[in-house]
Structure 1
């Protein structure tokens, strides 16, 4: 769960504690209903049913069971099932071919990477299937699976489809962009066909796919097309083109981006502000991007009037940070908040205070010293929260001495502050931190102890090795310790860590096995894969959600109504429904808000590292991450708990990676208004 912001932040403290009821295991044999129940049981237990699940995925029990078995294989992500999944690509029914294509993509996206020879086999099979596929819907799924696979052959097929003029051309462009975001090279993608896809006469979906590709192609040849897209009528196209300019644009784009700061859709302005901040990173003196950002002063009165979404552009600047030359901009924005007049409500006053602290912390990042953040917020932001915020910024400072400020905070009584101090020390180790960090290795809090382990590993404190081994022994009952402890063991004892890590390859928790396999692969230089470990029959699981279940998340800014996807994700939906009925979410905040990306909450710790004390398995669905979808935050496979997130805009790179289990049906304007620290008053269940 540690250091996973690039993978959507951490989620629950995973303890493998039973959640609710024990599901009855269906008897062997029987008809279709019994077979479907047995597939569900195998999926719950991460079992192949002694080979029966694979046989049923090949059609042994009929098409309905085959369809469900293929979905189970998609969720198991077991490399041994590859041939059964690929066989489904030749099924007679389009629905079966479509499900097999989805399962292939999920296997390609496995948390534990596939061997290269399997990727090659999959690439060949998917290319053959796509070439002969007559159904447009199945072809779309195959294109999406190419993006998850990301091999050279997969990219080449997407390039071939880019210029064909089919209805799925926009989908091919989107798939290429997602591949690029996931790290595949897009150097060979021709951009001439993309120009036609951006034409105003094209459907929104096609223009969006083109813009997504341009945002992640990261080549100067995309510059003029990105500039053209800034005036598109669709806000998500405008936002993507603004994002892309951060990679290939320059000072000449400041005027156009400045106009977007006043876009009627706040998330577009936030994206423009983030890009201007990134362009400003090259400025050593006042420059056009910094001058453009000064116009954000006009946002301050709106925030004071209660227009919380207007604060997102300011938040984006603070999160991105500015160079030392941008200090006058941060000062000007803070002054504008102070001069905005009396906030219209307590909510507005809290928003103003938090944004002031966010900007203050960005100033402290510039100097590598906590100063502004310790006196920000007009007395409305608690001291511990200000310290934690400032220390997190020090972890990102470029000032070598920045970690000196963090050493005393290692002894702070608040766990959030200690954790933030550890992050700062790990980023820039200093000798004075060695002893207090070693003391934290004995912390009862597994999050703090784990971060201390990661830090002593980074600092090469060999004397701490016995305490790290003691933490390794705790992994059996506290799986979240696995990742930082594995890193520390490898850093401190190298190949001598191999026996301990090999023992984790059969740990009951999938994420511990993944961590061990990754660590051993790096340690030995040879691919290492974990074992698949089945849960015993009758393993406890959450109750299934009620059909048509909804959640109403009440905040001071209004209510958010969520329709849960009880058909595709009954376990995930039921888990949140059960927690809501227990009153679990009352008083918990949205701890993470990234403008034009997500708002994330559900962590009782408030630092992104907490959860309910149990974990649930992933239930990957076919629901795409469009605007307003609710997803389960993860730190690895099967690590869901209580943390969830709402998407501000489409996020196709999340599709199939994080369980999407519902959507906002009312109150999206409340989601748009959320800022870090906004509190959940309660979550009601319905209907």
Structure 2
């Protein structure tokens, strides 16, 4: 995209804002001014307001398309100083402008640096005025979403009013908005919201979107009064609704619900079975004697057989061996969910019985190479769950046969041991601080942060000088938790690297606050002006903690030479090839050109070839794109977020983040709708074929290669 000269831009803006542009107020018969649209893109990515010109376009451009695009840029920049411009857009006569203004208000509400109560109120009042007269359905839905994000008492009151109205579509969306507020802020934020209207929306004769909205609020509110409704919705025809209700049972159900949850372990959709398995594990954690949930979980051995043999997994006639393997792999998600959730010590026999089923030589003799790899990883997951119970590395040292590397076994086991209720000093973990694998060293520090030994601080301090910034940052974070003052100097030396290595900011700031206290304030003040948004966010949070008063960073425009990906061409798509099949993705080249272009550019370089899906959470996401394989890696640069209005439905492609504008190469696919992610992580594509492959992924599955294609 050509960048216009400043002189040409000034002339264009003068003509446009004066009202003499070619396009009229509402006709938009001709394309919008390309030069101005390019400059808006430029300002947006540089996080600049263009010396006030961007706000002028958002509030005064006669062409509604330019005005809407400027508001989208303000949404992505998230500067509270533009609040009045956003409010002005809520009253515009064009629906596209009102919709973008409502979206921008929601993005301000989701700012990584939280708005004050007064600022939320300033957005709520005009939004309520606009909502009551809105006639465009899509704009109205965006307004309802934003009311939930603002989460003010007045916003909640309006959502409750809409939830009880006669328009079932609006009622469902209002209920969903309240549920998302509860998911983000905790059930307590909706403690005064009545659930009866949401329960009424879950009736079988209501549209699926309304039923889902009702179920989402009922599930996230976590109140015992909704138990009967949740039990009834296990029979809903929509798998996403069944999964929601199964998930809620783990929070508010009781042992008497175990048998009913057990019926969902045989659900035809594995992600529903995964939620049932996870909830049964949560119920088991509350057992004190005879435990029905554990008895029910023993039936998961049937899933082991399905993974190995494909039993009870009907496939179309003529299915290829790879398709058969893919179908079997998805059956492993309930076992993976159980292992990730973990069981109390009295549940050890269940984990052991599942491992015995996996080790059955009769099953293994019939399993394909891919199935054996799946079984090997599930075995290690179960072994790690046993080691978590005991707080020692034992079972993972001999799990998985020859299908799981020592590095993966150790990293998995140490991470689980860090979660153990056993808090005795973990002397064994110090050995792994010197392991050649960075992934193992990181997880060893996780254990020692929870269970330090007398020599932990000095051993960890040696890693502060690591050339690997992830290892050095993790060492700083660990030392901050240990609060050994003798390590402060080393942390201060590492802090000097933050200006050139922004990813270090978060762990180093936490360590400085813990070790240096108020003396860290001058350095944090310096970081408030750093060009990288996440460094400023971290500094503001640290200063808020140190001073006891809210501190917000200033917006700082990026230098013009900051890396920017080339935009993706229109119609661009990606094909990810795995041993379980291909995943074809259509990219949002129009709404998220730079985020899409970033993946296109990396794919063309062969960047993703051989990289794994390092994180798979059943019924949530499958995440990949990290060359390190530990969730901490990237391409060596970060890109800015391009928040879109695409909702996180099943099969949406999103950009993983560790803070504001920290995207790189890590991406994720959603297994099911995740509305709490909307507007928080860039959604920039969707799976158009191969969703069954996404469903079948397990941690460690390899991306063989990624090709760039043009899709119709």
- Cα distance in structure 2, aligned partners of 1:453 and 1:394: 21
User: Following the alignment from structure 2 to structure 1, what is the Cα–Cα distance between the partners of residues 519 and 569?
Assistant: 51
Cα 1:580/1:22, change in 2 over 3 Å: farther
Map Cα deviations across residues 217-248 of structure 1 (whole Å, 9 max, x no partner).
Answer: 01111111111111101000000001111111
Structure 1 segment 558-577 matched on structure 2, within 5 A: 558-577=581-600
Picking from 175, 178, 183, the partner of 1:176 is 178
- 2:4–2:38: 8 Å Cα contact kept in structure 1? no
Pairing 1:232–2:236 present: yes
Contact 1:130 1:142 survives alignment (8 Å): yes
User: SS at 1:254's partner residue?
Assistant: helix
Task: Describe the superposition over 1:304-351 as per-residue Cα deviations: whole angstroms up to 9, x where unpaired.
Answer: 133000000000000000000100000011111111332532111110
Moved over 3 A (4+): 21-27, 536-540
Bigger Rg, structure 1 or 2: 2
Which of 339, 342, 345 is equivalent to 1:324? 345
Which residue number in structure 2 is paired with residue 37 of structure 1? 38
Q: What is the DSSP-based 3-state SS (H/G/I as helix, E as strand, rest coil) of the residue aligned with 1:599?
A: strand
Match of 2:365 in 1: 342
Which structure 2 residues correspond to residues 16-27 of structure 1 after superposition, within 5 A? 27=8
Q: Deviations along 1:200-231, whole A, 9 cap, x unmatched?
A: 11000000111111110011111111111111
The equivalent of 1:7 in structure 2 is none
CA distance in 2, matches of 1:151, 1:408: 51
**SS of residue in 2 equivalent to 1:685:** strand
Partner of 1:14: none
Q: 1:538 to 1:479 in 2, by over 3 A?
A: closer
Unaligned 5+ residue runs, structure 2?
A: 17-32, 310-324
**Contact 1:173 1:209 survives alignment (8 Å):** yes
Aligned residues: 667
> By how many angstroms is 1:159 displaced?
1.4
Q: Which of the residues 482, 495, 514 maps onto 2:505?
A: 482
Measured in 1, the distance between the counterparts of 2:612 and 2:604 equals 17
CA distance in 1, matches of 2:450, 2:419: 8
2:22 counterpart residue number: none
Structure 2 counterpart of 1:375: 398
Q: Aligned runs of 1:295-306 on 2, under 5 Å?
A: 295-305=299-309, 306=325
Deviation at 1:294, TM superposition (A): 0.4
Residue number in structure 2 paired with 1:259: 263
Please name the residue that 1:439 is paired with.
Answer: 462
Q: Distance in 2 between matches of 1:446 and 1:410?
A: 15
1:603 maps onto 2:634 in alignment? no
Task: Note the C-alpha offset of 1:539.
Answer: 4.4
Q: Distance in 2 between matches of 1:677 and 1:155?
A: 43
Shift of 1:669: 0.5
Aligned twin of 1:210: 214
Aligned partners of 1:294 and 1:332 also within 8 Å: yes
* CA-CA distance at 1:33 after TM superposition: 2.0
Greater displacement, 535-544 / 60-69: 535-544
State whether residues 629 and 662 of structure 1, in contact with CA within 8 Å, keep that contact through their aligned partners in structure 2.
yes
Distance 2:397 2:153 in 1: 51
- Residue by residue over 1:499-544, the C-alpha shift from the partner in whole angstroms, topping out at 9 and shown as x without a partner, is 0011000111100000000110111111111111112446441111
Partner of 1:616, secondary structure, is coil
Match of 1:522 in 2: 545
Assess if the C-alpha contact under 8 Å between 1:447 and 1:481 holds in 2. Answer: yes
Deviation, 1:379, is 2.0
In structure 2, the CA distance between the partners of 1:364 and 1:310, relative to structure 1 (3 Å rule), is: same
Question: Post-superposition shift, 1:136?
Answer: 2.3
402 and 662 in structure 1: CA distance in 2 versus 1, 3 angstrom threshold = farther
Q: Secondary structure at the match of 1:378?
A: coil
Contact 1:369-1:402 at 8 Å conserved across structures? no
Tell me the CA shift for residue 160 of structure 1.
Answer: 1.6
Q: TM-score, with normalisation over the residues of structure 1?
A: 0.95
Provide the residue aligned with 1:406 in structure 2: 429
Matched, 1:658 2:678: no
Alignment-derived partner of residue 93 in structure 2: 92
Please tell me whether the aligned partners of residues 319 and 358 of structure 1 are also in contact (alpha carbons under 8 angstroms): yes
Does residue 141 (structure 1) correspond to residue 142 (structure 2)? The answer is yes
Aligned runs of 1:663-674 on 2, under 5 Å?
663-674=686-697
Match of 2:288 in 1: 284
1:551 aligns to what SS in structure 2?
strand
Shift of 1:142: 0.6
CA distance in 2, matches of 1:227, 1:564: 39
**RMSD in angstroms over aligned alpha carbons?**
1.3
Contact 2:102 2:143 in 1 (8 A): yes
Whole-angstrom CA distance in 2 between matches of 1:69 and 1:674? 39
> For residues 196 and 66 of structure 2, what CA distance do their matches in structure 1 show?
45
Whole-angstrom CA distance in 1 between matches of 2:495 and 2:222: 42
Q: Structure 1 stretches of 5 or more lacking a match?
A: 1-20
* Separation in 1, partners of 2:457, 2:290: 40
- Distance change in 2, residues 1:22/1:335 (3 Å): farther
1-side partners of 2:266 and 2:277: how far apart? 10
Give the TM-score of the pair, scaled to structure 2. 0.92
Which structure's relative contact order is higher, taking Cα pairs within 8 Å and 6+ residues apart? 1
How far apart in 2 are the matches of 1:538 and 1:633?
24
Q: Would you say the 8 A contact 2:4–2:35 is kept in 1?
A: no
Maintained 8 Å contact 1:242/1:271: yes
**Could you give the per-residue CA deviations for residues 277-314 of structure 1, whole angstroms, max 9, x where no partner exists?**
11111123340111110000001111113300000000
Secondary structure in structure 1 of the residue aligned to 2:577: strand
CA separation in 1, counterparts of 2:428 and 2:219?
38
Worse-superposed segment, 428-437 or 21-30: 21-30
